[in-house]
Amino acid sequence: MEKHWKSVIPRSICDYFFDVQRKVSSKDDIPPVIATPHHYLISIYRCQLYFVAVVMTEVSPLFVTEFLHRVVETFIDYFSECTESILKEHYVIVYELLDEMLDNGFPLATESNVLKELIKPPNILRTIANTVTGKSNVSDTLPTGQLSNVPWRRTGVKYTNNEAYFDVIEEVDAIIDRNGATVFAEIQGYVDCCVKLTGMPDLTLSFMNPRLLDDVSFHPCVRFKRWEAERVLSFVPPDGNFRLMSYHIGSQGIVAIPLYIKHNISFREGSAGRMELQVGPKQTMGKHVENVVLEMMMPKCVLNVSLNPSQGKYTFDPHSKTMSWEVGKVEPGKTPSLKGSVS
């Protein structure tokens, strides 16, 4: 599937990407930016698909990468998942979305609320009606908020029950010694929201210790000047689901991991070994830690693992050598364990 904007670029430009793909042993080894004599190929890998952008002039790679991620997230929002078969099934809507998200090569409408007013999400009844009448999913009128100073929120929003949910999701990268003590740790966090409020609400969100937050990235609705002055998030939220901010807490900050991990691994290359992991709550003030997923990179010489979890389930990818243990909820006083052999 391909989409052109300013000019038609021959498909043979992708041969540079395919050549690099054939030379590497893992998808992670493909460089995100590939320079060709006249173009730059910027790519991401998500949902077992490659998304490649071809640019003719020098541009910030992170800008293009972020747009590609936004395209994938829009597809997931519209179709619930982003797979090859799903994209082929909704070929027309995919092209309509790309037309609206990029105008003459420049990002235009990337907000889910705006796009859903322009292009209606697919359903069975709408598909049948469009087939019979010959109409498309594209609206004839501009979104109501497109010309306002808050284009991410449509006007006239009304709810019987007003509610707002905030989920703080944190990914902890850590090195832990065999006694369970933390050697190194850093956190990549996200604040995902589901806001269903009537009218034009103005919300304020504050943190206990905002100085710990580093490398923050905000949704356009956040008033950045107030954050710089007071370290407080002030915003008029979009309607529905959106990511309010992402942040990073580096190793120089005091990273208090809510879990402790004890491990006992005995393994020699060329022979089988044993592995035992234990996970328990720590510094949670009596609260449950939910949706815990533990990922562990195995040495390249490991071919298979046979493990027995006391809670949850595990998977092992022999290609990436990654063992993933979905622990689930870790309650105070309980220590889920994972034991077995490694070969």
Looking at residue 137, its pLDDT comes to 67
Per-residue pLDDT reduced to its tens digit, 236-263? 998 888 899 999 988 765 667 777 888 8
Looking at residue 144, its pLDDT comes to 59
C-beta atoms surrounding 327 within 10 Å: 23
Per-residue pLDDT reduced to its tens digit, 325-343? 998 888 877 888 889 888 8
Of the candidates 136, 139, 157, the residue with the CA atom closest to the CA atom of residue 148: 157
What amino acid occupies position 35?
A
Looking at residue 218, its pLDDT comes to 93
Q: Which helix (H) or strand (E) holds 83?
A: none
| Residues whose CB falls within 8 Å of the CB of residue 262, separated by 6 or more in sequence, listed in order | 178, 179, 180, 277, 278, 280
Per-residue pLDDT reduced to its tens digit, 54-78? 998 888 999 999 999 999 999 998 8
Both tokens of 317, joined, read 């990818």
Of the candidates 147, 77, 155, the residue with the CA atom closest to the CA atom of residue 116: 77
End-to-end CA distance of the chain: 41
Q: Which of 36-50, 182-196, 248-262 has the lowest mean pLDDT?
A: 248-262
